[in-house]
Amino acid sequence: MPLTLTPMTADQLARLRVPLEQAYGEDLAEARGLSPEEGQAESLRQVARLLPDGVTTPGVLLRVAEADGEEVGWIWVTLPGPEQPTMAWVHNIEVHPAHRGRGHGRRMMELAEAELARLGVGRLGLNVFGHNTVARRLYESLGFEVKTQQMSKPIAPSPR
């Protein structure tokens, strides 16, 4: 059975939001050199700001992916608006661990792009953490190009 995307329900978001906030907080902490607590707090702030009305937040596409009648993942895309006036933005795409490596992430992106095209959206952007090499390879294979790149390195304290 092919993969399908369906609108997410409030109950599904309630179940998926906690692991999203946790994982995003961990990624933020690693990428920005924050404490785990600071990363978690920033994650909670960002998600609350971007989804103030949950699944009914205007301009937000929250979709659950199903294959063979089973939930395999989900995707969150924001339509062009004040923060990104010229493109839609992928905030999160996740394939549940038991379903990875089967092409579901690629198909979710393709279906989301098709929905955006039907809505007249001409560009799609996203951020990807540098340590997420699997996601980076997927996005590059789908035609995404690096437009900006942040880099950092630790600086050893100088002896006194």
Q: Report the Cα 53 to chain-centroid distance in Å.
A: 18
CA distances from 100 to 18, 20, 40, 112 (A): 20, 17, 25, 18
Which pLDDT score, from 0 to 100, does residue 84 have?
83
Of the candidates 33, 39, 36, 34, the one whose C-alpha atom is nearest the C-alpha of residue 155 is: 33
Quote the CA–CA distance of 114 and 111 in Å, as a whole number. Answer: 5
Structure tokens at 13: 């978001």
Which pLDDT score, from 0 to 100, does residue 4 have?
97
- Predicted TM-score (pTM) of the model is 0.87
Which pLDDT score, from 0 to 100, does residue 1 have?
62
Which pLDDT score, from 0 to 100, does residue 42 have?
96
Quote the CA–CA distance of 39 and 45 in Å, as a whole number. Answer: 10
Q: What would the pLDDT profile of 84-113 be if each residue is shown by its tens digit?
A: 888 999 999 999 999 999 999 999 999 999
Domain 4-141 CATH superfamily:
Gcn5-related N-acetyltransferase (GNAT) (3.40.630.30)
Which pLDDT score, from 0 to 100, does residue 64 have?
98
Please state the φ and ψ torsions of residue 34, each to the nearest 5 degrees: -95, 160
Task: Let me know: does 143 contact 123? Beta carbons within 8 Å.
Answer: no
The residue ranges of the chain whose pLDDT is under 70 are 1
- Within 8 A by CB and 6+ apart from 8, the residues are 16, 55, 62, 63, 64, 74
